[in-house]
Structure 1
Amino acid sequence: MPISVLCIDDHALLREGIAAVLQGQEDFQFVADAATAEEGIERFRVYQPAVTLLDIQMPGVNGIEALVRIRKESPSAKVIMLTTYKGDAQAARAIAAGAADYLLKSSLHRELREAIRIVHAGRRHVTPEVAAEVMQNMGGATLSQREIEVLQCISNGNSNKIAASRLKSSEETVKVHLKNISAKLGAKDRTHAVVIALRRGIIDMV
């Protein structure tokens, strides 16, 4: 029996490209695709694919939340997360939520088919670039939820004063949080901290 595959991604060209790659192989069957997490969850219920390809960053419900919902309904679901960034924080959250793999979109042309076969066989597989990123930052200081909120707010271009107002805190407290954030991330300043946090997937681009 061919391996049935569902692809959930908000980029039509990526979905079409994956469909074209898999439809040319006898051991794959591309059964459906979806542009949103909500639509993807519904199609998962209908098609019950052997392997689901799920974009980690989508408008509305994000990939990790969709993964949690799919796995809650079907604990044996085999899901491969797709991402543009090799952020170790995102990878760790996805794997903790039950993802069987975490693939960079830039590596799909050379790794996708083998990754699907490995995951379908019941094994986990993480692309080497992502594994290296996770290992490099393992054991480092982690940001608190409040620090993440401050950093996310600052990443939108807000001043300390505006961030303090939005977070119902004081400007001085925001400054203390930023100092601690920079120390934990090894950042030279607030801009550098934002860049590091985006790269590692600690905060999201909005």
Structure 2
Amino acid sequence: MKTESPERIHILIADDHFTVLEGLAAIIARQPDMQVTGQAGDGEEALALWKTTQPDICLLDLRMPKLDGVTVTESIRALDHSARVIVLTTYDTDNDILRAIRAGAKAYLLKDSRREDLLDCIRRVYRGETFITPTLVEKLASGLSVEPLTGRELDVLTLLASGLSNKEIGTRLCITETTVKSHLRAIFSKLNVLSRTEAVTAANKRGLIQI
């Protein structure tokens, strides 16, 4: 008696590292219930392929050329609110996680996860579930408990990380040195730090700035 083949989950993969892309495609292709319908090396290509292939799952790297994973996720979800996106990345800062979830990603997984966890994640998201590991949930909760920085405070922090003095920051932003100091006090309080170096380190760990 002939048995029916299992329903296949059609998956689009996007990653700007060819070795990672090739490895993911090989792992997925070996699964009897999965099929790779497209491979993209940047965000623009991923969005274009999604429009033409309409996959069940889109497996996205977070940081890619042309369009990043968050922008691609937002664009896909704008076209189809039921679209299922999994972010697969090396970045685990609370800001990165929060941005991806707010954009509509159904799962957030790190690239050093076990193969079994990746496959389980794909199947669960396909069934309509969400998937974030307990460690990342804890990190996300920690980030949400921190009062967010304002746009101007982020500007000051970014220039601070570049090594500029208070006077130089003020000149760059067209504000007084006293105002810069006021912003720094607010930044220190929100990040629960005592020094400029600690502020930059804490902000980098949370994904607020990149150094």
Question: Structure 2 length normalisation: TM-score?
Answer: 0.88
Q: What is the deviation of 1:13? A: 1.5
- Which one has a bigger Cα radius of gyration? 2
Whether 1:134 and 2:126 are equivalent positions in the alignment is no
Distance 1:83 1:161, change over 3 A: farther
**Cα displacement (A) at 1:108:** 5.0
For 1:33, give the aligned amino acid.
Q
TM-superposed CA distance for 1:124, in Å, is 0.8
1:75 is displaced (CA, Å) by 1.3
- Is this contact kept in 2: 1:104–1:127, CA < 8 A? no
- Shift in Å at residue 119 of structure 1? 0.4
Q: Distance in 2 between matches of 1:187 and 1:198?
A: 13
| CA offsets 1:44-78 (integer angstroms, 9 cap, x no match) | 11111110111222233222111111110121110
The percentage of aligned residue pairs carrying the same residue is: 39
SS of match in other structure, 1:107: coil
Partner SS state of residue 194, structure 2: coil
Q: Output one character per residue of 1:61-105: Cα deviation in whole Å (capped at 9) or x when no partner.
A: 222111111110121110011221221122122212211011111
Q: What is the TM-score with the length of structure 1 in the denominator?
A: 0.90
For 2:161 and 2:115, the matched residues in 1 are separated by 32
1:7: which partner in 2?
13
1:168 Cα deviation after fit: 2.8
In structure 2, the gaps of 5 or more residues are 1-6
Q: Aligned partners of 1:87, 1:2: CA distance in 2, in Å?
A: 33
- Pairwise CA distance, 1:172: 2.9
Paired residues in the alignment total 205
Instruction: State the 4+ residue runs in structure 1 displaced beyond 6 angstroms.
Output: none
Residues 101-143 of structure 1: per-residue CA shift (max 9 Å, x gap):
1111121534211101010001111122210101233332221
**Residue correspondence of structure 1 range 59-70 to structure 2 within 5 A:** 59-70=65-76
Distance in 2 separating the partners of 1:18 and 1:172: 52
Q: Tell me what 2:51 maps to.
A: 45
- Matches of 1:152 and 1:57 in 2, distance apart? 19
- What RMSD in Å do the two structures reach over aligned CA positions? 1.8
Residue in 2 that maps onto 1:192? 198
- Output aligned runs, 1:126-205, within 5 Å: 126-203=132-209, 205=210
Amino acid in structure 2 at the alignment position of 1:18: L
Q: What does residue 123 of structure 1 align with? A: 129
Partner of 2:95: 89
CA distance in 1, matches of 2:89, 2:169: 29
